[in-house]
Structure 1
Amino acid sequence: MEKLKKTPLYDSYEKYGGKIIDFAGWALPVQFEGIIPEHEAVRTKAGLFDVSHMGEVDVIGEDAFKFVQNLITNDISILEDNQVLYSPMCYPDGGIVDDLIVYRFTKNHFFLVINAGNIEKDFEWMLKNKGSLNVDITNISSSVTQLAIQGPKAEEILQKLTDTNLSDIKFFFCKRDVLVAGAKCLVSRTGYTGEDGFEIYSDRESATGLWDKILQAGKEDGLKPIGLGARDTLRFEVNLPLYGNELSESITPLEAGLGFFVKLDKEYFIGKDVLVKQKEEGLNKKIIGFEMKDRAIPRHGYEVFVGNEKIGEVTTGYLSPSIKKNIGLALIDAKYSELGTTIFVKIRNKLNEAVVVSKKFYKKNYNK
């Protein structure tokens, strides 16, 4: 663990029973109490996540709007100040550089949140595509801490620590300069679990105090610290993609099922021409949801077959803690993507029967 990157909360993990693993070069807790109780806590009460490994980039200048608009597939012209949106960011061939959250502070100031394993790659890509635009692009990841509180009781718990009325922060909006337990924070309401909740950005010096005070404030409400394991099962059940699984440089946003976030009527964005053509000609491969008919549990990377033909691979698979079924997502040949199609997942050299189902495994409970 010595060579791994660490968040400001690394020394706090042991105090709460964290089991540390290597995640994209970071020393992070895969679990505290256990994946199942942590997952259930978020679905029924609340959970607190340390997501300080995520990257943050400031984009400031008179061409900030144009730069971000060219960079991503979604359309930031719909945003008002302090509004937030989700978007893929593509290569010219349509493959995904990363998926990110875009905060508009003003027309000349955007704040981008990117995935931990892609920080250096993303930042270089942004600089490469700056061109002659008048914009300053700054990687501020090393100075920012991010916590996330998620679950039905998230607002009630966090409200104990701030005088700001959190109910005024609507879904996919943010508020700056919020005092949380005495620390100045950016608070937003997006989420990566399918439950209501908040992201809390602060400086690194405030991280440990915020973590401890939030957990203390939620102790009687059942708030638990949550590791990467439950973070993955939670996001997977509500079909929220993970870079490296459902998203990659060899998968386009359309193939990943993210067409809603690809605005082909925009004047320009990197990769637009390829995605327009792909939309017109149809997809050769798609991310689908499936449910196992046999008892085996699918896992990332397992091969998918129809007859003797390999048609794709599992991107994510679990015994779902919420619906108690063995389910998964897979990238497969599009001609087998129709709901109800029988497919087979190769698990320990045996082909196990599964059926294509809706990717909406679990109903989202966002406060909109």
Structure 2
Amino acid sequence: MSRPTPLREVHESLGATLTDFAGWLMPLRYGSESAEHRAVREAAGLFDLSHMGEIFVTGPQAGAALDHALVGHISAVAVGRARYTMICAPDGGVLDDLIVYRLAEEEYLVVANAGNYLMVARELTERARDLDALVEDRSDRYALIAVQGPRAQEILGTLTDADLPGLKYYAGLPATVSGRSALIARTGYTGEDGFELFVAAEDAAPLWADLAKAGEGYGLKPAGLSARDTLRLEAGMPLYGNELSTALTPYEAGLGRVVKLDKPGDFVGRAALAECAGIPVTRRLVGLIAKGRRVPRHGYAVVRQADGVIVGEVTSGAPSPSLGRPIAMAYVEAASAGEELAVDIRGGHEPVEVIDLPFYKRS
């Protein structure tokens, strides 16, 4: 049975279409998903992200524990800053992609994907077993609300006296928002500027209402999973289970930059990843823009137009409201670079243009 977030009643009152996502009951859309998408690109969108996991790692060796557990050099992150990183299996396969916030000298917040956070908490606990660090899953205590879009700062600024203009990308600060304690993070999954607000679960509904009211004059709309997916797809951002999995290393995903082989000490997966780092990848993640109107979807084969030989597979695909054409991300054989490709859609070959990601980058 799907778990509700603290905002379930709010979503129902707004007439949202609810669906299961990674074991959670989440809003798919409130009305027109393309209108929600455009609101985020042109004004602002309001998202419920309370299905994400919040795992705290504290203690004198918290940084060392995360350095050992994750591929990034987490102990080098300054207090108040955040880092995108991954937790990998010993063979280098990606178990999850994460954002880690350093809240204090001996306190870190690890944000994990909804379907993986229990596994991540277990892995962190095991990997920190011999160190003076405490791993605690506090996901049930928190809600996560995002305000994303070019007018996000204006909207949030009406409810807090925090220094939003001075808050850097991938940074966070504790603040009061509409009279409620929150961690304000300048992060997001849409390709736009915006903020993610970590608040107590019981504060979620009143804070959502205050944000919605504050955004009335700015074009703010509540936005569901459908818009979130097309926004992140246009921005070329990976989704775990699609572009990332245990069958892929960070290097194959084009994210080898997150692996810090030169950090002090050993970490889980280091040997396998060091070997991968010296080998050219045989497949790469690319963007596909359909030349027709048919939409490439997850799992569809990518073929050479010349002979129909399969050279890859679509990982994510959807109509792009910003481009006005269907788009997709796909893993294709590196050797196919420069060749004319197509996507096999129910037996027909849809020609595509191959591009480097992302499809969309804000000005």
Class of the TM-score when normalised by the shorter of the 2 chains: over 0.9
Q: Matches of residues 196-211 of structure 1 in structure 2 within 5 Å?
A: 196-211=193-208
Q: Matches of residues 335-350 of structure 1 in structure 2 within 5 Å?
A: 335-336=335-336, 338=337, 340-350=338-348
| 1:106 Cα deviation after fit | 2.2
Q: Could you tell me which residue of structure 2 aligns to residue 333 of structure 1? A: 333
In the alignment, structure 1 residue 167 sits paired with structure 2 residue 195? no
User: What is the CA–CA distance in structure 1 between the aligned matches of 2:292 and 2:255, rounded to whole Å?
Assistant: 29
Give the letter aligned to residue 103 of structure 2.
Answer: F
In the alignment, structure 1 residue 100 sits paired with structure 2 residue 70? no
SS across alignment from 2:278: helix
**Contact 1:172-1:188 within 8 A present in 2 as well:** yes
**Contact 2:69-2:128 within 8 A present in 1 as well:** no
**Contact 2:66-2:75 within 8 A present in 1 as well:** no
User: What is the CA–CA distance in structure 2 between the aligned matches of 1:294 and 1:212, rounded to whole Å?
Assistant: 42
Q: Could you tell me which residue of structure 2 aligns to residue 278 of structure 1? A: 276
User: What is the CA–CA distance in structure 2 between the aligned matches of 1:206 and 1:83, rounded to whole Å?
Assistant: 24
Give the letter aligned to residue 49 of structure 2.
Answer: V
Q: Could you tell me which residue of structure 2 aligns to residue 136 of structure 1? A: 134
> Over residues 52-83 of structure 1, what are the superposed CA-to-partner deviations in whole Å (9 max), with x where a residue is unaligned?
01000000011101011112222224421111
The 10-residue stretch of structure 1 (54-63 or 126-135) with the greater mean CA deviation from structure 2: 126-135
| 1:121 Cα deviation after fit | 1.4
Unpaired runs of 5+ in structure 2?
A: none
> Over residues 110-155 of structure 1, what are the superposed CA-to-partner deviations in whole Å (9 max), with x where a residue is unaligned?
1100000111111111122123111110000000110000001101
- Which ranges of 4 or more aligned residues in structure 1 deviate by more than 4 Å? none
The 10-residue stretch of structure 1 (353-362 or 108-117) with the greater mean CA deviation from structure 2: 353-362
User: Matched residues, percent identical?
Assistant: 41
| 1:303 Cα deviation after fit | 1.3
> Over residues 254-307 of structure 1, what are the superposed CA-to-partner deviations in whole Å (9 max), with x where a residue is unaligned?
111112212222233221221221121211222111222233211111111223
User: What is the CA–CA distance in structure 2 between the aligned matches of 1:265 and 1:342, rounded to whole Å?
Assistant: 39
In the alignment, structure 1 residue 195 sits paired with structure 2 residue 164? no
Q: Could you tell me which residue of structure 2 aligns to residue 312 of structure 1? A: 312
Give the letter aligned to residue 143 of structure 1.
Answer: R
In the alignment, structure 1 residue 41 sits paired with structure 2 residue 70? no
SS across alignment from 1:277: helix
SS across alignment from 1:240: coil
In the alignment, structure 1 residue 55 sits paired with structure 2 residue 53? yes
Q: Matches of residues 1-368 of structure 1 in structure 2 within 5 Å?
A: 3-176=1-174, 178-267=175-264, 268-306=266-304, 307-336=307-336, 338=337, 340-365=338-363
> Over residues 10-59 of structure 1, what are the superposed CA-to-partner deviations in whole Å (9 max), with x where a residue is unaligned?
01112212110111111101101221000000000000100001000000
- Equivalenced residue count is 360
Give the letter aligned to residue 294 of structure 2.
Answer: A
**Contact 1:341-1:355 within 8 A present in 2 as well:** no
User: What is the CA–CA distance in structure 2 between the aligned matches of 1:34 and 1:68, rounded to whole Å?
Assistant: 41
**Contact 1:59-1:109 within 8 A present in 2 as well:** yes
| 1:104 Cα deviation after fit | 0.6
**Contact 1:341-1:356 within 8 A present in 2 as well:** no
SS across alignment from 1:156: helix
**Contact 1:290-1:359 within 8 A present in 2 as well:** no
**Contact 1:84-1:172 within 8 A present in 2 as well:** yes
Give the letter aligned to residue 247 of structure 1.
Answer: L
Give the letter aligned to residue 248 of structure 1.
Answer: S
The 10-residue stretch of structure 1 (322-331 or 233-242) with the greater mean CA deviation from structure 2: 322-331
> Over residues 182-216 of structure 1, what are the superposed CA-to-partner deviations in whole Å (9 max), with x where a residue is unaligned?
11111110111111111111111100000011000
Taking only aligned residues, the RMSD between alpha carbons, in angstroms, comes to 1.3
SS across alignment from 2:3: coil
User: What is the CA–CA distance in structure 1 between the aligned matches of 2:131 and 2:163, rounded to whole Å?
Assistant: 38
Give the letter aligned to residue 126 of structure 2.
Answer: K
**Contact 2:64-2:75 within 8 A present in 1 as well:** no
The 10-residue stretch of structure 1 (148-157 or 261-270) with the greater mean CA deviation from structure 2: 261-270
Give the letter aligned to residue 256 of structure 2.
Answer: G
User: What is the CA–CA distance in structure 2 between the aligned matches of 1:170 and 1:60, rounded to whole Å?
Assistant: 24
SS across alignment from 2:50: coil
User: What is the CA–CA distance in structure 2 between the aligned matches of 1:162 and 1:106, rounded to whole Å?
Assistant: 22
**Contact 2:283-2:331 within 8 A present in 1 as well:** yes
**Contact 2:287-2:355 within 8 A present in 1 as well:** yes
Give the letter aligned to residue 180 of structure 2.
Answer: A
Give the letter aligned to residue 169 of structure 1.
Answer: L
**Contact 1:237-1:360 within 8 A present in 2 as well:** yes
